[in-house]
Structure 1
Amino acid sequence: MKDRIIYEDFIASIHFSTEDNTFFGKIEGIDDLVTFEGDNVQSLNQAFRDAVEDYKELCKMKNLDPHKSYRGTFNVRINPELHKKAVQIALKEGMSLNQFIQKAIEDELNSVMKK
């Protein structure tokens, strides 16, 4: 079983509790904590869809965007040698490291989205 499920443009992480014999999940990529559970895969999927719809309705009532807001900055920890190579290639290409990393991410996203 995948540990992620998708409904519309919401993604949830999924887990199983052997103690409770229950599937449970959490909607990822939002500013709030929204969880759901089910006794089987079908009830888990329905609980996820219901949780998304309830969350969207709550956000609509509060005039909020249901998706997490992003600032456009984040820290990345990578191998020092990879860091060095990225800086060297960026300089050779006449770009900053930020521009190089942004292009690399865009290229990877485009590649993945074509699949």
Structure 2
Amino acid sequence: MNSMTYKGYTARIVFDERDDIFTGRVLGVRDIISFHADSVAELRAAFTGALDDYLADCAEQGIRPEKPASGKIMLRIRPEVHAAATLAAQTAGKSLNQWAEEAFERAAQA
């Protein structure tokens, strides 16, 4: 995936061959934050501008801007998977949280 990161937010970048422009959209938030430009340099400026505008709008409205991730996750998995993961964590000498974080990190980097 082609992406850009700014202030902890990541945007997915796509080249629109039909319109001959780059388009971007910030990932991990419910609000739609999108931007476009003709060149990579303009795209980076459009991304930072769109995100700065979003943060300024939130501040002006007195609302907390949504973050891409809080660091908390709740999963519903089959009990046998939960038991197997717990056993794997204990075998590795780790908490289930530590073990799961490492598993998520490996999977995300694959």
Instruction: Quote the residue 1:5 is aligned against.
Output: 4
Q: Percent identity?
A: 26
The number of equivalent residue pairs is: 102
Q: Which residue identity lines up with residue 17 of structure 1 in the other structure?
A: D
**Is 1:46 matched with 2:45?**
yes
CA 1:7/1:91 → structure 2, altered by over 3 Å: closer, same or farther? closer
CA distance in 2, matches of 1:105, 1:91: 12
Question: Are the counterparts in 2 of residues 4 and 11 from structure 1 also a CA contact under 8 Å?
Answer: yes
Partner of 1:72: 73
Aligned to 2:108: none
Residue segments in structure 1 that go unaligned for 5+ positions in a row:
111-115
In structure 2, do the counterparts of structure 1 residues 104 and 24 end up closer, same or farther at CA, with 3 Å as the change threshold? same
CA contact (8 A) 1:27 1:33 kept: yes
CA contact (8 A) 2:26 2:32 kept: yes
Q: Any stretches of 5+ residues in structure 2 without a counterpart?
A: 106-110
User: With structure 1 as the length reference, what TM-score do the two structures score?
Assistant: 0.68
Shift of 1:94: 9.4
> How many Å separate the matches in 2 of 1:76 and 1:3?
31
Q: Deviations over 1:38-61 (max 9, x none)?
A: 101001000001001100011111
Q: 1:65 offset after TM fit, Å?
A: 1.8
After TM superposition, the score normalised by the length of structure 2 is 0.71
1:113 aligned partner: none
